[in-house]
Amino acid sequence: MDYSKTAAGVLKGVGGEENVSSLVHCATRLRFVLKDESKADSAAVKATPGVVTVAQAGGQYQVVIGNDVPDVFAEIGKISKLGAASADGAASDAPKGNLFNRFISMISAIFTPVLWALAGTGLLKAFLAAAVTFGWMSEGTSTYIVLQALSDGFINFLPLALAITAARYFKANEWTALAIAMALLYPTATALVGKPDLTFFGIPFTMVTYVSSVIPIIVIVWLQSHAEKVLYAKLPSAIKRFITPMIVVLIAVPLVFVVIGPISDLIGRGIGGGINWVFENAPWAGGAIMGGLWQVFVIFGLHWGLVPLFTLELQTTGQIMLVGPVFAAVLAQAAAVAGVWVRARNKNLKSLAAPATLSGFLAGITEPAIYGINLPLKRPFAFGIVGGAIGGAIIGIGGVFAKAFVVPSGLALPALFGNGNMFMLVIGLGVAIIVPFLLTVIIGFVEPAEDAAPAPATAENDLAVLSPLDGTVVPLSETPDAAFAEGALGDGVAILPRSGALYAPFDATIAAAFPTGHAIGLRHADGAEVLIHIGIDTVKLGGQHFDVKVTTGQQVKAGDLLVEFDGDAIEKAGYDLTTPIVVTNGELYPAITDRAAGPIAHGEPLFTAVSVESAAVTA
């Protein structure tokens, strides 16, 4: 993947930097909050090399990249003001939709920056626990203590990390938020946990533990952000910079100890107890739900809403029952795509399935498998859900749990070792892997036809391109769009239309018929690929004033009507009608000759795309 080209293509496709309120990334996705989603060209974003698909959920415009998302995110930061400054989002930029969407967006923004450190140290803890279980290391040794500190430290002091990310999201002062979190974890304060008859200036309270806690720090930082706005506005400028944090900390910390902490502790224990109740009374149901539906949650980006439940359950019960069945869900989708890898005859499909299988099994990253293969093929995704549900139910019955927060994957399996019925864990994971794999291999799926490879370019297959429009030919460099004018999308010409009909410029297959009607991609039997883009930024019209007459995959003859459009209405809406016609695979057709100029009618010669073979002979 060329990260810079992917970044540029995605940013242009979402409507440019000016259309982005905020941008974050998670394990596999760029998560945009757009000012106007109608300005995003989803077809163009999906067509960008390196993009798996686009998902619009949770109030976010999500661009699925896969394992390379941090590199693409970094490149966007280099070509725009997005990135580090907005890496954790901001409340003012959050979706203004329903409360559920706003909650998912908030959780995603607050937890995304800490997720990999949390998962990485959790994996270390899992390996350490496995080493003790199998007798490879003894507790109490200095080596064990050092390894325990580096694997347990981050989760224990999680409120410190969440103070920073929450402050960035709510636009509060990060260092004041950190001061509050440090007070919650201060040793002498922590020592009060369990002590009776505690008071603060005569107000009785119960000290609860804030180690690994989630709710108290997020709530108090939200309140901090509102308090700071009032204090900064009311206090004299000479003193507000140091008086504000003093007042905030003086009020916030006792408020947590006396009110927020005890209430959140009750909520956390209630949630933890409820989860345990389900897994004690109907473990098969809890396991089947998590194992069967987890990947459905992933599709819509809703799994973020469950991440706090994992940490709450760990804090209140010392274990995570929810995570065991998720291993079945993840490995089931990886097994389904492995079945595609084995059964498929389509070379492109096999080449996609191979890395998606490894990514799913080893790292637990299933988006490339889901979006790139299983979901489009339908049956493998359904088989994965079946395998995940059955395997999850078995694991739930076995009472399998984790004692550390991990991202479910093959590498993270040690987190489950020694926790619950290991025989049931093996059976559950075996079923989760074998069932979808065999169903995919035996029952199969509707396999897409193998794309015909372009014929080798020879001197005989230069392509004569006819004019698709009535209008006036102008140099491509005069196109009021930098990507076309600089030839970034290919060489060719542009036409200023004088009528509202677009015709096929040669016998071709419709490679892409955009539903918005603003663009058509054509492929000649000899391999030449041509893009016709009606107007500049006309995707923002959302199909208004366009009537598409063809569909993707359709065969057309030169002169066939492709699109009708209302040029006057488009111009009245403020859009330039200059229409670029470019050859997009310049590696096969590196030269353009015989370019027409001035007035032209559809069907008249426009230019010739010279093949690489012919160009070599001429040279």
Residue 190 Cα to chain centre, angstroms? 38
Q: Catalytic residue at 303?
A: no
Q: Which of 26, 303, 524, 602 is catalytic?
A: 26
Look-up of token digits 């163009």: 44
Please write down the HEC assignment for all residues of 598-618.
Answer: EEECCCCEEEEEECHHHHHHH
- List, in sequence order, every residue forming a beta bridge with 501; answer none if it has no partner: 564
Among the listed residues 518, 524, 533, 545, the single catalytic one is 533
Strands 491-497 and 501-503, bridge-based pairing: unpaired
**Tokens (6 digits) for 562:** 């492709």
Inter-residue contact 25 to 7 (CB < 8 Å): no
DSSP per-residue string spanning 170-186:
HT--HHHHHHHHHHHT-
SS (H, E, C) 492-560: EEEEEECCCEEECCCCEEEEEECCCCCEEEEECCCCCEEEEECCCCHHHHCCCCEEECCCCCCEECCCC
- As a whole number of angstroms, the distance between CA 551 and CA 171 comes to 47
Give the tokens for residue 564. Answer: 């009708």
Per the CB < 8 A criterion, the answer to whether 395 and 290 are in contact is no
Does the CA dihedral 476-481-486-492 come out positive or negative?
A: negative
Residue 589 · residue 463 · CB < 8 Å:
yes
Burial class (CB in 10 A: 0-12, 13-18, 19+), 183: middle
Q: Buried b / exposed e across 425-460, counting CB within 10 Å, b at 16+? A: bebbbebbbebbbebbbeeebeeeeeeeebeebeee
CA–CA distance, 172 with 180 (Å, rounded to integer): 12
Structure-block tokens of residue 619: 């040279």
* Greatest extent of the chain over all pairs of C-alpha atoms, in Å: 95
What does the alpha-carbon distance between residue 499 and residue 117 come to, in Å, rounded to a whole number?
59
518 is catalytic: no
How distant, in Å, are the alpha carbons of 10, 49, 113, 266 from that of 3? 10, 9, 21, 47
DSSP lists the bridge partners of residue 465 as 607
* Full 3-state SS string of 308-357: HHHHHHHHHHCCECCHHHHHHHHHHHHHHHHHHHHHCCCHHHHHHHHHHH
Angle at 391 between CA 438 and CA 118, to 5 degrees: 115
Residue positions annotated with a catalytic role: 26, 533
